[in-house]
């Protein structure tokens, strides 16, 4: 029988054997002081809500001021208030936003709380100084995610904390000036239908545009773009993007990292079902 080691700690937690985990720690088994090991430990603790575990974690003497950001974001995503509070008390970066395999979009803990509708946890993070204005790689911030989730109470709360200019049409017009949107396109986003349906299509039967004030700036490999689509039927890995450089709509398959031109605004809005279904079927890939 092999001697207990660091792997034994993770194994005990994965099996839900907290008493075994405690015994191993008290016997001197430790977690290597590296970001990947500390993140793994807290991943295994994700579903633990018993505060009796916290003094045991203290025994491990982890450098959470340096390596607590990743675990904090994961705890906020899973809605674990106990671990979120503990990590902040230990000095974890409340606005940590480096990308990793689990959160490749470089989101913050408060953004993940918003994404998963953890409203009370989000309020707690805000009370501790979380920056709600930091957008992730794809332009999402807590407010826009609350809107997408149709969580009106959360959206209203976050809007009250954001700069007023972000919700002002004249300020938005100034912000979007460099994107050279056609006049007809601007008018559509202000007054046209945001939800489009094409039930005769097979793969994608509807899509929803962002409202004009929620169009978000986005960068892809140094390209300055504008994200147009909030959601669409059956697929979550595609972004619909406006390129001011050639004044066309492009799409980004975020899973395959495929960035391809789609159509002019006039052509797209005349038959969106054709272009979206062709997009997911690979018709426009290069």
In a domain, 285, yes or no: no
Cβ atoms 228, 249 nearer than 8 A: yes
Give the list of residues 6+ apart from residue 254 with CB closer than 8 angstroms, or none.
138, 237, 238, 239
| Averaged pLDDT score across all residues of the chain | 94
- Counted domains in the chain: 2
Whether residue 265 lies inside any domain: the answer is yes
- For residues 218 and 243, membership in a common domain is answered with yes
The gap between the terminal CA atoms of the chain, to the nearest Å, is 56
Does residue 53 sit in the same domain as residue 146?
Answer: yes
In a domain, 79, yes or no: yes
Query: Which residues constitute the domain of residue 80?
Result: 6-166
Q: Are residues 74 and 17 located together in one domain of the fold?
A: yes
262 and 147, same domain (yes or no): no
pLDDT in tens, 188-235: 999 999 999 999 998 999 999 999 999 999 988 889 999 999 999 999
Inside any domain, residue 270: yes
Residues 220 and 276 in one domain: yes
Model confidence at 2, in pLDDT bands (50, 70, 90)?
low
Task: Report d(CA 112, CA 228) in Å as an integer.
Answer: 21
Co-location of 188 and 157 in the same domain: no
Q: Is residue 171 part of a domain?
A: no
Spell out the residues 6+ positions from residue 230 whose beta carbon is closer than 8 angstroms to its own: 147, 148, 194, 208, 209, 210, 214
Residue 286 lies in a domain: no
Measured CA to CA in angstroms, residue 179 lies from 186, 225, 249 at distances of: 11, 8, 12
Whether 16 is covered by a domain: the verdict is: yes
**Same domain flag for 152 and 79:** yes
Give me the CATH number covering residue 70: 1.25.40.20
Answer with the one of 120, 144, 166 that is the final residue of a domain: 166
77-120 pLDDT per residue, tens: 999 999 999 999 999 999 999 999 999 989 999 999 999 999 99
Asked if residue 270 and residue 159 are part of one domain, the reply reads: no
- pLDDT for 224-252, tens place per residue? 999 999 999 999 889 999 999 999 999 99
pTM attached to this predicted model: 0.80
| Three-class secondary structure of residue 6 per DSSP | helix
Instruction: Specify whether 158 is located in the same domain as 16.
Output: yes
Beta bridge partners of 206: 197
Same domain, 130 and 254: no
How does residue 1 score in pLDDT terms, banded at 50, 70 and 90? very low
How far apart are the C-alpha atoms of 51 and 39, rounded to whole Å? 19
Residue 3's pLDDT is 72
Q: What is the pLDDT of residues 127-165, one digit of tens each?
A: 999 999 999 988 889 999 998 898 999 999 999 999 888
**154 and 198 housed in the same domain:** no
């Amino acid at each position: 029988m092999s001697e207990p080691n660091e792997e034994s700690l993770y194994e005990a937690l994965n099996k839900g054997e907290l008493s075994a985990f405690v015994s191993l720690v008290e016997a001197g088994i430790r977690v290597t002081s590296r970001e990947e090991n500390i993140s793994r430990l807290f991943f295994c603790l994700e579903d633990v809500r018993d505060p009796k575990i916290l003094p045991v974690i203290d025994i491990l003497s982890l450098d959470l001021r340096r390596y607590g950001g990743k675990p904090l974001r994961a705890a906020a995503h899973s809605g674990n208030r106990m671990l979120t509070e503990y990590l902040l008390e230990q000095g974890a970066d409340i606005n940590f936003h480096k990308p990793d395999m689990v959160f490749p979009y470089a989101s913050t803990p408060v953004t993940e709380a918003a994404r998963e509708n953890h409203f009370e946890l989000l309020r707690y993070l805000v009370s501790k100084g979380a920056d709600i204005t930091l957008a992730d790689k794809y332009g999402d911030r807590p407010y826009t995610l609350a809107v997408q989730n149709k969580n009106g109470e959360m959206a209203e709360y976050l809007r009250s904390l954001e700069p007023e200019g972000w919700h002002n049409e004249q300020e938005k017009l100034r912000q979007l000036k460099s994107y050279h949107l056609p006049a007809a396109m601007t008018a559509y986003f202000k007054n046209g239908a945001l939800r489009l349906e094409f039930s005769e299509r097979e793969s994608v039967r509807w899509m929803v545009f962002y409202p004009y004030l929620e169009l978000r700036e986005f960068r892809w490999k140094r390209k300055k773009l504008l994200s147009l689509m909030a959601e669409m039927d059956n697929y979550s890995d595609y972004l619909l993007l406006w390129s001011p450089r050639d004044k066309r709509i492009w799409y980004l398959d975020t899973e395959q990292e495929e960035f391809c031109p789609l159509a002019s605004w006039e052509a797209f809005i005349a038959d969106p079902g054709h272009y979206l279904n062709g997009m997911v079927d690979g018709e426009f890939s290069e």
